[in-house]
Amino acid sequence: MEIKFWGTRGSIPSPGPQTLEFGGNTTCLEVVLASGRRLIIDAGTGIRPLGDHLQTHVASVRLHLLLTHNHWDHLMGLPFFAPIYREDTEIMVDGWPLAFQALRRVFDDHKGDGFFPVAWDELQSRRTFINRLARGPLTLDEVRIDTIPLNHPQGSLGYRFREGDHTLVFFTDHELGMEKWHRFEDFVQFVRGCDLLIHDAQYLPEEIEEHRGWGHSSFEEALRLAVEAEVKHLVLTHHDPSRSDAQVRDIVKRARKQAAAHKSTLRIDAAREHDIFHLPELVPVKNRRPAPSAGSRGQ
């Protein structure tokens, strides 16, 4: 399984000289299974450079688009995903129960107001709403995908991918301190022993109380989950749009120091655009090309 970050920022795109290292595009993660099947999690602005990459590296695009929830920062890149305008593109949408309707609204609700000039029915690609994951696990090429409701305004889904003996868990837009659908212990069980946990860490511990109910976690809460669940590698994501590269590096430093104080062997990093992880190796491969940078309450 290969995992590549195309967007790591939360809430709104935040391009500029202070976000060059970790990126300014909003959430988009590419997961390529051992079979070659491609899955994309969320359609934030990071899906635009992903689309450009696919245009030049893949003859025809066939993928599963798994949406965590309906908020704008996780959908806003789709109109600029170049393959969606091609007849040879097939996109199977799954995940959040209202996912397909949300994607249609990105195009159709705004057309009359002039915010986007192309309607959903004018797109040339084939788009199908699978609607499987909201009803139970989905198996693709011997990879089992499970979901769990996360604590976020209007709801969100977390994903677990099991390929052979190796497991990836992706939790964005999740407030561990707000026990709305599940208790902390339920999330521990869901992620227990996973190889790679990618988790929302938008806030600092000293910021989190003034943002309770906004649907995001502090790095300290994500660290606690990873330690208690005996995760091998934690990658912090959904960086606050106001957070500079230096501040994200400081978060990683603080998290590693806390893990060491617990005598944990947990490896900790922050998500960077264009970083690639391979299971089971779990060594990030950094793309040395400049990363294109394009990332509130409830978003």
Q: How many CB atoms lie within 10 A of CB 94?
A: 24
Give the domain CATH number at 181: 3.60.15.10
Kindly report, residue by residue over 236-264, the tens digit of the pLDDT: 999 999 999 999 999 999 999 999 998 99
Q: What is the tens place of the pLDDT at every residue in 18-47?
A: 999 999 999 999 999 999 999 999 999 999
Domain membership of residue 93 (yes or no) is yes
Residue 128 lies in domain: 2-278
Is residue 72 one of the residues assigned to a domain?
yes
Give the model's pLDDT for residue 30.
Answer: 98
The confidence score (pLDDT) of residue 216 equals 82
State the pairing for strand pair 166-171/196-200. parallel
Q: What integer pLDDT is reported at residue 103 of this predicted model? A: 80
Contacts of 297 (CB under 8 A, 6+ apart): 153, 214, 215
User: How many domains does the chain contain in total?
Assistant: 1
Residue 296 lies in a domain: no
- Of all helices (H) and strands (E), which one includes residue 278? strand 276-278
CA pair distance 269, 8, nearest whole angstrom: 12
User: What pLDDT, on the 0 to 100 scale, is given for residue 105?
Assistant: 81
283 within a domain of the structure (yes/no): no
- The pLDDT assigned to 109 comes to 64
pLDDT of residue 181: 63
Describe the crossing of helices 219-228 and 245-261 by its angle, rounded to 10 degrees: 40
- Residue 299: per-residue pLDDT: 52
The Cα 157–Cα 42 span in angstroms is: 11
Query: What gap in Å lies between CA 238 and CA 172, rounded to an integer?
Result: 7
Task: Give the pLDDT confidence score for residue 183 in this predicted structure.
Answer: 85
Indicate whether 66 belongs to any domain: yes
> Do residues 237 and 270 make contact, with C-beta atoms less than 8 angstroms apart?
yes
Q: Identify whether 213 is part of a domain.
A: yes
Residue 285 in domain: no
Q: What is the pLDDT of residue 290?
A: 42
**pLDDT value at position 283?**
60
pLDDT tens-place values along the chain, 299 residues long: 999 999 999 999 999 999 999 999 999 999 999 999 999 999 999 999 999 999 999 889 999 999 998 888 999 999 999 999 999 999 999 998 887 788 888 887 654 555 678 888 889 999 999 989 988 999 999 999 999 999 888 889 999 999 999 999 999 999 998 766 678 999 999 999 999 999 999 999 999 888 888 878 999 999 999 999 999 999 999 999 999 999 999 999 999 999 999 899 999 999 999 999 999 776 666 654 444 444 344 45
Tell me, yes or no, whether 288 lies in a domain: no
